[in-house]
Amino acid sequence: MESDYRLMAEDTPAGTIFSIHEVFYLNGHPYDYVFIPLALIATDQEDLIADIQLALEAFEQPTLSKDQFPNEY
């Protein structure tokens, strides 16, 4: 099972909220995601830096719609 982090957008009465989630792929297409957004917590600085780098890669792909997953926002 493949996964990566993706930026997701959700429209709310207060405006659009953006968050980063782990997304799972089947045959190269997103099919599920972790509902709770990514939390950047680590036991050492190197692990935290690696997680931040993975999170930054989410901005290199199209934003997904949280309301109409797996469609793009």
33 lies in some domain: yes
Write out the residue range of the structural domain in which residue 36 sits.
2-65
Say which residues have a Cβ less than 8 Å from residue 46's Cβ, sequence separation at least 6: none
Per the DSSP assignment, residues forming a β-bridge with 21 are 6
Closest to 31 (Cα-Cα) out of 1, 9, 11? 1
CB neighbourhood size of 58 (10 A): 21
72 lies in some domain: no
71 lies in some domain: no
Pairing outcome for strands 2-12 and 29-33: unpaired
The predicted pLDDT at position 65 comes to 98
Whether 3 shows a pLDDT value over 90: the answer reads: yes
Number of domains in the chain: 1
60 lies in some domain: yes
Q: Say which DSSP state 68 is in.
A: T
Dump pLDDT digits (tens) for 20-67.
Answer: 999 999 999 999 999 999 999 999 999 999 999 999 999 999 999 999
The predicted pLDDT at position 47 comes to 95
